[in-house]
Amino acid sequence: MATMTMAKALNAALADAMLDDERVVVFGEDVGQLGGVFRITDGLQARFGDKRCFDTPLAEAGIVGFAVGLAMSGLRPVVEMQFDAFAYPAFEQIASHVAKLRNRTRGALSVPIVIRVPYAGGIGGVEHHCDSSEAYYAHTPGLKVVTPATVDDAYSLLRAAVDDPDPVVFLEPKKLYFTSAEAELPARTAPIGTAVVRRPGSDATLIAYGPAVPVALAAAEAAREEGWDLEVVDVRSIVPFDDATVTASVRRTGRCVVIQEAQGFAGVGAEIAARVQERCFHALHAPVLRVSGLDIPYPAPMLEHTHLPSVDRVLDAVARLQWDDQPDTRWVAA
Amino acid sequence: MTTTPQAVRRASPRTRRKTTPAAPDPSAGFMPQREPVRLLEPDGTPLPARDDYPEPPVEALREMYRRMVVGRRFDVQATALTKQGRLAVYPSARGQEACQIGGVLALREDDWVFPTYRESMALTARGLDPVEVLTLLCGDWHCGYDPAATRTAPQCTPLATQCVHAAGLAYGESYQGRDTVALAFIGDGATSEGDFHEGINFAAVFKAPVVYLVQNNKYAISVPLSRQTAAPSLAYKGVGYGVPSEQVDGNDPVAVLAVLDRAVAHARAGKGPYLVEAHTYRMEPHTNADDQTRYRDADEVEAWRDRDPIARLEAYLRARGVLDDAAVAAVAEEAEEYAATLRRRMDSQPTVDPLSLFDHVYAEPTPQLVEQREMVRAELAADGEGDA
């Protein structure tokens, strides 16, 4: 066991994937000699050569479209979008081709591409560097959408994404890049498509993914003082979504708060809340609540703490889960 | 001897020439010719032979004639199928036969084609099953042919996006030691899309063996070329990317094939991409659903009939004595048979299993798709339509 950062685990996952499968090629902006602006591809070009890991022109649609062609020729491209919001020019390629080629061709063509996207905020980034863009991808059938919250998962999910027969949008929470944990590589955790219970509890379930997972865990810890024993489920795989694990947890606890860093309206948390309500209605003692970012464009650095879900906001939501069977009056007209 | 001011003036230019020789034009080798390359007059009369674009072998030209005639007949038949309700829509390529056929004839079987929705004629000329090609427009699925088996990407509707795929595929093939060439078809309107520029730039930077064939048919649905570019030719768009570029009379089949032969040879030799602008004209509306009287005069369309590429090639081959009445009749008969067979095969409505909707979203359906498939299966069973 060694202590390592999520960034280092992701780097090791890419290196091991390139070692195991010579079809794997890694490219994007600044990923070569520089090793990526977050150093996730550090050393790959030196180790595997500039044909396996290379810089491209600064054109995100070009990067993803180029990956489509490379995948058609039999390679396994892993591309980096430098930041969440910089991936938007590639959206047509992702939505119209990457996601649909298998379907359009009745399975004759598949494009097993991994699109790595450093996403979300909490790092004091200036505008266009902190978007939570998961809902755009999750709303696009044909894509798998995965986001790790732990060092082990970062390694294992990225290896699984590279091996996956379908395209995977791999969302890397920037604020967790340099968090450390004990890890022994090559770690293999649960496969894509499964959620895991990060912390067992009996009173309510907190459902979170990516950068919101540490917030949920901190809230669960703080809730002990209030006398609440909270379970935390880490979604990990937004698509395919693990209804079974989530449903089992909420049926057990009877209460649920969904936490996401992204703005709330029409977000992934809304989908999760709806699914929980559909499947767990008779086990629920309170409405499913959401804690999310505000419905605003990502704010400037000095205001981001007001925007981001905090432990206090999560605890406020937990407090409203009708513990004394009193209805939540928040939405009742005066 | 004293030096007069006149002598100084006379001497100084010589001195300047000696010390600063003119720098070579860095765009030389990329620039298209000032006028589109042309090897036949519109009436089929041959122009003087040229070294840069040698005339293709006569057998290739006879084959081109055959496929152009069959291709036009296919196009007419497909348009008729829209009137009978068998196709939802059909974008015709009539008038563009030299580009459609030249584009696929210049390639080997194992090369890749990246077509748009207007290349149905090109794909059937490539030997793809016309019923499979028309699947997209028939409505029973999207792409009806197997792209991997036919080395033909799905017909691309999002404009210019295939330009980047072609660059990636071509680079991937050369990366793996194969000498495959990719040819991407694109229209004049789509040269305004970002992906055209990103594709050609990626191909140039990575020396990917791609030929970009722009069929400039003068209109993007209704919008004329003057709203797409202020450049003197779309072929100039390659120069800025360091890509050799050429313009050709797209209704001159001999010139189209000669230019594409050179472009393909350039790409296959590992010298990177090549851009060709073919000046042509769409004789039919954008699709059968389009009303072209709103944006162009009948006179304009009529004027282009004199530049018909099939009549032009036929006149040339007849004059050379390599095509006679019997051969022309045989090709015409083949075209009629091709259309009759297509008509007959399109007579029967294909059956589509609604449950197949869930088959190819992912390699394995997600739990959510399994649930939805069960819902549809139950609905079909209740309607007495399903196999459940």
**Which tokens belong to B348?**
């029967």
What letter does residue B379 receive in the DSSP assignment? H
B22: confidence class by pLDDT, cuts 50, 70, 90: confident
Mark whether A134 and A210 lie in a shared domain.
no
Structure tokens at B78: 């497909």
pLDDT at A41: 98
Most B CBs within 10 Å, among A26, A64, A68, A96, to test the B interface? A68
Residues of chain A under the 70 pLDDT cut: 327-329, 331-334
A31 plus A173 within the same structural domain: yes
Per-residue model confidence (pLDDT) at position B274: 98
- The CA distance from B207 to B243, in Å, is 10
The Cα of B144 is separated from the nearest Cα of chain A by a number of Å equal to 7
In chain A, what residues touch B204 (CB-CB under 8 Å)? none
| Cα(A94)–Cα(A115) distance, integer angstroms | 9
Count the neighbouring beta carbons within 10 Å of the beta carbon of residue B47.
Answer: 13
The residue of chain B with its CA nearest to that of A56 is B202
| A105 vs B154, B165, B198: nearest CB | B154
Residue in the structure block whose two tokens are 């991997």: B148
Give percent of chain B above pLDDT 70. 94
- Within 8 A by CB and 6+ apart from B199, the residues are A62, A65, B160, B162, B163, B164, B165, B166, B167, B184, B210, B212
Q: Are the CB atoms for B205 and B233 separated by under 8 Å?
A: no
Question: What Rg, from alpha-carbon coordinates, does chain A have?
Answer: 20
Overall number of domains in chain A: 2
- Say what angle helices B58-83 and B253-266 make with each other, to 10 degrees: 110
Q: A258 and A179 in one domain?
A: no
What is the pLDDT confidence band of residue B235, given thresholds at 50, 70 and 90?
very high
- Domain presence at residue A334: no
- On whether residue A19 sits in a domain, the answer given is yes
- DSSP assigned state of B183: E
Give the span between the Cα atoms of B112 and B181, in whole angstroms: 6
A307 located within any domain = yes
CA angle, residues A198, A203, A209, in degrees to nearest 5: 35
Mean residue pLDDT of chain B comes to 93
Q: Mark yes or no for CB contact A109/B154 under 8 Å.
A: yes
SS (H, E, C) chain A: CEEEEHHHHHHHHHHHHHHHCCCEEEEECCCCCCCCCCCCCCCHHHHHCCCCEEECCCCHHHHHHHHHHHHHCCCEEEEECCCHHHHHHHHHHHHHHHCCHHHHCCCCCCCCCEEEEEECCCCCCCCCCCCCCHHHHHCCCCCEEECCCCHHHHHHHHHHHHHCCCCEEEEEEHHHCCCEEEECCCCCCCCCCCCEEEECCCCEEEEECCCHHHHHHHHHHHHHHHCCCEEEEECCEEECCCHHHHHHHHHHHCCEEEEEEEECCCCHHHHHHHHHHHHHHHHCCCCCEEEEECCCCCCCHHHHHHHCCCHHHHHHHHHCCCCCCCCCHHHCCC
The answer to whether B72 and B310 are in contact (CB under 8 A) is: yes
pLDDT value of residue B21: 67
In a domain, A333, yes or no: no
Measure in Å the smallest separation between the Cα of A38 and chain B Cα atoms: 24
Q: What CATH number is associated with residue A130?
A: 3.40.50.970
Whether residues A240 and A141 fall in one domain = no
> Considering CB atoms only, which of A51, A61, A106 is closest to B198?
A61
Could you give the CA distance from residue B22 to residue B20 in angstroms, rounded to a whole number?
6
Residues A48, A172 share a domain: yes
A144-146/A237-239 β-pairing: antiparallel
Checking if the pLDDT of B13 tops 80, the result is no
**Rounded CA gap, B251 and B95, in Å?**
8
Alpha carbon of residue B112 to chain centroid? 12
DSSP category for residue B59: H
CATH superfamily of B58-289+298-347: Thiamin diphosphate (ThDP)-binding fold, Pyr/PP domains (3.40.50.970)
Q: Residue B148 and residue A108: Cβ atoms within 8 Å? A: yes
Least confident piece of the model among A269-278, B128-137, B269-278, B343-352: B343-352
pLDDT score recorded for residue B19: 57
Same domain, A148 and A216: no
Q: Which of B141, B166, B368 is opposite residue A240, by nearest beta carbon?
A: B368
Q: Which domain holds residue A67?
A: 2-183
Q: Report chain A's terminal Cα–Cα distance, integer Å.
A: 58
DSSP B306: T
Say if A324 falls within a structural domain: yes
Same domain, A73 and A179: yes
Q: What residue segments make up the domains of chain B, in order of their start? A: 58-289+298-347, 354-383
Q: What local confidence, expressed as pLDDT, does residue B388 receive?
A: 43
Nearest CA in chain B to A107: B360
B221: alpha, beta or left? (left if phi > 0; alpha if psi -120 to 50) = left
Whole-angstrom CA distances from A306 to A7, A261, A262, A292, A294 are 27, 12, 13, 11, 9
State how far residue A239 is from chain B, nearest Cα, in angstroms.
8
Distance (Å, whole) CA A169 – CA A268 = 15
Q: How confident is the model at residue B1 (pLDDT cuts 50, 70, 90)?
A: very low
Which residues from B are below 8 Å from A111, CB to CB?
none
Residues 6+ apart with CB under 8 A from A281: none
Rounded to the nearest 5 degrees, what angle is found at the Cα of A269, between the Cα atoms of A264 and A271?
A: 115
Q: Does A251 reside within a domain?
A: yes
A110: distance to nearest CA of chain B, Å?
A: 9
Catalytic residues of B: 282, 286, 295
Q: Are residues A201 and A223 in the same domain?
A: yes
Give, in order, the Cα–Cα distances in Å from B217 to each of A178, B94, B221, B302: 55, 11, 10, 15
Check whether residue A124 and residue A254 sit in a common domain.
no
Give the closest of A73, A96, A239 to B169, CB-based: A73
Looking from the CA of B363 toward its CB, the CA atoms found within 13 Å total 11
| pLDDT at position B11 | 47
**A97, A129, A285, A305: which is the annotated catalytic residue?**
A129
Residue A213 covered by a domain? yes
Cα(A152)–Cα(A158) distance, rounded to whole angstroms?
10
Q: Is residue A95 part of a domain?
A: yes
What CATH code is carried by the domain that includes residue A291?
A: 3.40.50.920
Question: Are A76 and A147 in the same domain?
Answer: yes
Spatial neighbors of B298 by CB under 8 A, at least 6 apart, are none
- pLDDT at residue number B7: 46
pLDDT in tens, B320-351: 999 999 999 999 999 999 999 999 999 988 88
Question: What is the 8-class DSSP label of residue B269?
Answer: I
Residue that has been written with the tokens 């939805």 in this structure: B372
Residue corresponding to tokens 């055209």: B196
For an interface test with B, give the residue of A24, A104, A245 to mutate (most B CBs within 10 A).
A104
- Max distance between CA atoms of chain A, in angstroms, equals 68
Residue B254: band (very low, low, confident or very high) from pLDDT cuts 50, 70, 90: very high
What is the per-residue pLDDT across B48-72, written as a single tens digit (0 to 9) for each?
999 999 999 999 999 999 999 999 9
Which of B137, B197, B198 has the most A C-beta neighbours within 10 Å, making it the best mutation to test the interface with A?
B198
Residues facing A145 on adjacent strands: A169, A239
Condensed to tens digits (0 to 9), the pLDDT of residues B202-221 reads 999 999 999 999 999 999 99
- The total of other beta-carbon atoms located within 10 Å of residue A84's CB is 25
What is the distance between the alpha carbons of residues A5 and A181, in angstroms, rounded to a whole number? 7
Q: What is the pLDDT of residue A318?
A: 97
